[in-house]
Amino acid sequence: MRLEFRRFHIHIPNWLLPAVGYLFSFACLVWVLQGVDYHEMASDIRSLHWGWVAFAVLADIGVYFYQAWRWNLLLVPVCRPAFWRSVQAIYVGLFSNEVLPLRPGELIRSYLQAHWCEVPFSVAFASAIIERLLDGVWLVAAFVLVVSRPSRAGARMPRDVTDLAQALGIVVAVCGAAVALAMYRRHRAHAPIPKSRWRLKLRVLIEDLHIMGRSRYFYVAAAASLPYLLFQVVPVYALIRSYDLDLGLVPALVVLVIWRLATVLPQAPGNIGSSQAALVVALGLFGVDKTTASGLSLVMWAAVTLPLLFGGFLALALTDAKLSDLRAHAKAKAAAPRVGSKRG
């Protein structure tokens, strides 16, 4: 990787970013396990209500089936993806994020969808960007709502958390305005793009965003994103109930939001370490002691990650391709200029 500033050239080794991610994750895991009572943690895990755990696993699987349906809505203006193909692409992408550094799953699932739908890669990737933007809008909106009314959530939010909510609200608003400009005023969005090797890619992305954004299905997908967020609360709530903790749906939403925010940036595979630390911090806001919170964070990670590994491995096997090849093809498609398109 090379960054250029006028006459200066800064070379960043390719191994540096993954190494930083691994180091951060390791430090988080050490903090999570520091000072806990391991005998009490083991006792808590042995006395879990496994019915709630099973329900959480099934609910989490349902979340990705729902995501596949919503993804298909966004792609209707350009193609008609098969539902099970979308599910398969999502699970291969999730599997990639769990076993590979720097979270390449979005690129890989976009590549698979583009290949199966016979549309340009940029189109599938633009739909993934819209998905993440919609998720971010609802996620931050829920976070701001809960933080602004701490008495209803049953927690006293630290000032840092409220500041984070406000900052995220500003970031999402700016990103949303930029994407809205690309969707509805694409000619104006082209103007400020500086002349560089990224200019063509950004222009293509803006065109693809415009195609999907002017469709009525975009608004259906946007509305469907709120139930998608609420659906994600269900497995978190179920796992909290498996520990016999007296927390309701609103605290579960707070835990989900903080958990998701902490795992946005690329880190170690499976977000090991950072996801546990985020859960311990979030549960601590509601008075859960560190030993209980640490044990629950490990149970949550296993309940969410292990089914993804199994389902993702199966989905990858059905593609009859190697994960390394898919990653290479996805990177090549992302780097290549678009030469044409097919509009459905």
76-94 per-position pLDDT tens digit: 888 889 999 999 999 999 9
**For the residues 259-263, what does the mean pLDDT come to?**
81
Instruction: Please give the residue that has the higher pLDDT: either 196 or 218.
Output: 218
Distance of alpha carbon 59 from alpha carbon 49, whole angstroms:
16
Structure tokens at 32: 């999570």
Instruction: Please give the residue that has the higher pLDDT: either 158 or 190.
Output: 158
Nearest Cα neighbor of 308 from 68, 69, 91 is: 91
Beta-carbon contacts of residue 71 (< 8 Å; ≥ 6 apart): 81, 86, 90, 113, 127, 128, 131
Per-residue pLDDT of 137-163, as tens digits, reads: 888 887 777 777 655 444 456 666 667
Distance of alpha carbon 209 from alpha carbon 113, whole angstroms:
16
Beta-carbon contacts of residue 5 (< 8 Å; ≥ 6 apart): none
- Greatest distance between any 2 Cα atoms in the chain: 63
Instruction: Yes or no: say if 123 and 208 are a contact pair by the CB < 8 Å rule.
Output: yes
2, part of any domain: no
Contacts 24+ apart (CB under 8 A), 163-167: 164/261, 165/140
40, part of any domain: no
13, part of any domain: no
Nearest Cα neighbor of 64 from 96, 93, 101 is: 93
117, part of any domain: yes
Distance of alpha carbon 112 from alpha carbon 115, whole angstroms:
5
Domain that holds residue 74: 52-333
Per-residue pLDDT of 8-67, as tens digits, reads: 455 666 667 677 778 888 888 899 998 889 999 999 898 999 999 999 999 999 999 999
pTM of the model: 0.82
Percent of the chain past pLDDT 90, that is, above it, reads 34
218, part of any domain: yes
Instruction: Please give the residue that has the higher pLDDT: either 2 or 146.
Output: 146
How many domains, the chain? 1
Taking all residues of the chain, what is their mean pLDDT, rounded to a whole number?
81
6, part of any domain: no
Instruction: Yes or no: say if 80 and 95 are a contact pair by the CB < 8 Å rule.
Output: no
Max avg pLDDT among 138-147, 165-174, 308-317: 308-317
44, part of any domain: no
304, part of any domain: yes
**For the residues 237-252, what does the mean pLDDT come to?**
89
Distance of alpha carbon 64 from alpha carbon 92, whole angstroms:
12
Instruction: Please give the residue that has the higher pLDDT: either 146 or 302.
Output: 302
